Chains A and B, each alone.
Chain A
């Protein structure tokens, strides 16, 4: 590992740490910005109950102390008790929901990458032929569809009209549609990325050399071309995780999947402030770490990339 790369690595990790710190700070102060505190909206709270509630959540202390406490909690991954779900710790709720959401997200991401690479390469190989046209039309259409619309359309087609899949995401079969709705947009995006970089690579001299040497066409495609065409897809890994995470908020709501997204949406509706803060920070950390990983992988994969 050369010095330049190490320097880049340190810089990039520092930026990630600063970002996470900033997310925690922004989240804390912006939530404190709401006038009257989180319990004012409750219907009938007497003065004493309010004081007791504030004391329970540490809201009676000065803001600076609250902030330091929260920061300390965030480092040890302790976001305090939920304000609306009685007797439950935010961290526990997050972990419980996240196990389902992670399953969903990982399957969706993996299938998006695999299908995207295959279809994108196909489109490039059959450039301007019918296969290419069909793949491009479909992927252009999917890029224009927000995930909640894909989800509702799938729900309507497969659960209401054809009645082949359950509309409820609590069983294994019920997770198929949520996964597809999360997968389509990233898949379409990866198809477009792969196709354009593949076209670029296929036009280069070393591919012609390989063909001239008599290497089998499938070998040329998978061994020589795909390896180089895959680098732009790596840069998309970070944004894809961000997209799937936010997409899962609405998709889980539509299919009633008991994941983190469902808790997050209901905490927004119930104004459960500690839950909103905890989930935001948790999801933000995942996104930032994924961005970091995809940036570093990209530099490792393609040594030609300028590190400055």
Chain B
């Protein structure tokens, strides 16, 4: 409003132009009423505000951040590694079997001698296992592996599910019908049994295929878990995305984009997917604990990550027999899994309540 309203051109008697002399100017008090007191809030900010109010979800987020930082930082500064068998000494020295099966904060004979000599020895916070490996660092590594399996598996599910679901939803009709029948069939397969079966087979077949590549380092167990997720677990994500796309694509702005000549891939990428981003993020967050669950289950059956790499499930499996003597060895990985899954579940629920209130059950 740069124009001075008081000096409008003179009114033509036939025109509908307002006659300013008949109007009264607003008083400053009245103007004040028009001021918007609350700043306009974006969808994201609004959701974050709601999330921040949810004490449980925020506590869980902090627990998760703490665990993630711990598994990143501790291996960098900790003096032992997860596969180092301390009892096997350097060449020319006798192995020191007193390293095996130490209790928490205990020292082996070699270390006791070193302490007597006045050297600093880092304590074994949770003792060592039967092969003389420091148990604390194995738990930390196990947590790291379980978390990364959960994360990567969910990302795989996210990519495949989103791609598949958005294509089926966007094109609709026959394409949708055929694609969704495939989803129905995969969905009705008993997933855990198929997971076990695939893991057995992949462990046997992958070994020679990946020998020598960087994949060999990951181990067949881990790759088979990822493959299984890529093959079977994406279907519920695909269903969800398809449903969202189906409802969004009816709206006018999609019609406008089509009329302007946008290609399907552009419409999906720029218009449809950004509108279901909250559904995508929430279901990915809830997928992670599911993946951790599956991984620990497989590792517990002896089908998960390959030795000597630990995961929380395989650590629980290895130390099941210590339930009568050193029960902490079993409880530490078991309770860590529970804590991670619980925190992820509650945080995911909080995310859903904050960003997608309609979906609240």
| A residues with CB within 8 A of B | 15-16, 18-19, 22-23, 26-27, 30-31, 33-35, 140-141, 143-146, 148-149, 152-153, 155-156, 160, 196, 242, 246, 249-250, 253-254, 265, 268-269, 271, 276, 280, 283-284, 287-288, 291
Q: Are B324 and A276 in contact (CB under 8 A)?
A: no
Chain B residues lying within 8 Å of A291, measured Cβ to Cβ, are: 188
Q: Please tell me if the beta carbons of B301 and A149 are within 8 angstroms of each other in the complex.
A: no
A160 in contact with B324 given A19-B185, A22-B185, A144-B338 (CB within 8 Å): yes
Min CB distance, A283 to chain B, in Å?
A: 6
> B210 contacts which chain A residues (CB < 8 A)?
none
Residues of B within 8 A of A141 (CB): 338, 342
Mask: chain B, 301-344; 1 = CB below 8 Å from A; 0 = not? 11100000000010010001001100100110010011001100
Other-chain residue from B188, B320, B334 in contact with A288 (beta carbon distance below 8 A) = B188
Q: Using A16-B188, A156-B327 as known contacts, say yes or no to A276 and B200 having CB atoms under 8 A apart.
A: yes
CB within 8 Å for A144 and B289 given contacts A246-B192, A268-B302: yes
Bound-state Cα–Cα, A6 to B320, Å: 51
Once bound together, how far apart are the Cα atoms of A9 and B340, in whole Å? 42
Q: How far is the CB of B177 from chain A (nearest CB, A)?
A: 13
Expressed in whole angstroms, the Cα–Cα distance for A268 and B201 within the complex equals 10
User: Is the beta-carbon distance between B334 and A152 smaller than 8 angstroms?
Assistant: yes
Closest to A249 in B: B301
From known contacts A33-B201, A196-B361, infer whether A152 and B342 are also in contact, taking CB-CB under 8 Å: no
Q: What is the CB-to-nearest-CB distance from A151 to chain B, in angstroms, rounded to a whole number?
A: 10
CB-defined contacts of B296 to chain A, threshold 8 Å = 146, 148
**Would A268 and B338 count as touching, CB distance under 8 A?**
no
B346 cross-chain contacts in A, Cβ below 8 A: 140
Q: B204 to chain A: which residues have CB within 8 Å?
A: 34-35, 271
Whether B194 contacts A144 by the Cβ 8 Å rule is: no
Which residues of B (165-202) have their CB < 8 Å from a CB of A?
A: 184-185, 188-194, 196-198, 200-201
Name the CB-closest residue of B to A155: B323
CB of B345 closer than 8 Å to a CB of A: yes
Q: Which residue of B lies closest to A290 (CB)?
A: B190
Bound-state Cα–Cα, A26 to B231, Å = 13
B193, A287: Cβ atoms under 8 Å?
yes
Partner of A250, one of B300, B330, B334, B345: B300
The answer to whether B196 touches A280, judged by C-beta atoms less than 8 angstroms apart, is: yes
Contact call B342/A148, Cβ cutoff below 8 A = no
From B197, B313, B345, contact of A140 by CB (8 A) = B345
Choose from B193, B196, B205 the contact partner of A35 (Cβ within 8 Å): B205
Contacts of A140 in B (CB 8 A): 342, 345-346
* B52 CB-CB contact with A under 8 Å: no
- Please report B residues at the A interface, Cβ cutoff 8 Å: 184-185, 188-194, 196-198, 200-201, 204-205, 208, 289, 293, 296-297, 300-303, 313, 316, 320, 323-324, 327, 330-331, 334, 337-338, 341-342, 345-346, 361
Q: What 7 pairs between A and B have smallest CB-CB spacing?
A: A144-B342, A246-B192, A287-B190, A144-B341, A149-B334, A19-B188, A34-B204
Q: Which of A30, A160, A265, A287 contacts B301 (CB 8 A)?
A: A265
Which residues of the partner chain A approach B313 to less than 8 Å between Cβ atoms?
A: 148
Cβ of B316: which chain A residues have Cβ within 8 Å of it? 148-149, 152
Contact among A19, A35, A146, A246 for B337, CB-based, below 8 A = A146
Pairwise interchain contact B189-A22, C-beta atoms closer than 8 A:
yes
A293–B149 alpha-carbon span in the complex (Å): 34
11 examples of A-B residue contacts, CB within 8 angstroms: A23-B189, A23-B194, A26-B197, A30-B201, A149-B338, A156-B331, A242-B191, A268-B303, A283-B190, A287-B190, A288-B190
CA distance A283 to B324 in the complex (A): 33
Closest to A286 in B: B190
Smallest Cβ distance from A301 to chain B, in angstroms? 20
> B345 — which chain A residues lie within 8 A by C-beta?
140, 143-144
Give the shortest distance, in Å, between A190 (CB) and chain B (any CB).
14
Given A144-B345, A283-B190, A287-B190, verify A152-B184 contact (CB < 8 Å).
no
Q: How far is the CB of A268 from chain B (nearest CB, A)?
A: 6
Contacts A140-B342, A156-B330, A160-B327: A27 and B190 contacting too (C-beta < 8 A)? no
Contact partners of B293 in chain A: CB under 8 A? 146
Tell me how far the C-beta of A207 lies from the nearest C-beta in chain B, rounded to whole angstroms.
20
Residues of A within 8 A of B302 (CB): 268-269
In the complex, chain B residues whose CB is within 8 Å of the CB of A31: 197, 201
CA distance A16 to B293 in the complex (A): 27
User: Are the C-beta atoms of B327 and A18 separated by less than 8 Å?
Assistant: no
Known: A156-B327, A268-B200. 13 other contacts (CB 8 A): A18-B185, A143-B345, A149-B316, A152-B316, A156-B330, A160-B323, A160-B327, A196-B361, A249-B196, A250-B300, A250-B301, A283-B190, A288-B188
Docked complex Cα distance between A160 and B330 (Å): 13
- Which chain A positions have C-beta within 8 A of B297? 146, 148, 246, 250
B32 CB to nearest A CB, Å = 41
Complex: how many Å from CA A265 to CA B297? 12
**CB-defined contacts of A280 to chain B, threshold 8 Å:** 193, 196-197
Q: How many angstroms between the C-alpha atoms of A146 and B298 in the bound complex? A: 11
B201 and chain A: residue at smallest CB distance? A30
**Measured CA separation A144–B293 after assembly (Å):** 9
**Contact A15-B194, Cβ < 8 Å, known A33-B201, A144-B341, A146-B337:** no
B327–chain A nearest beta-carbon distance, Å: 6
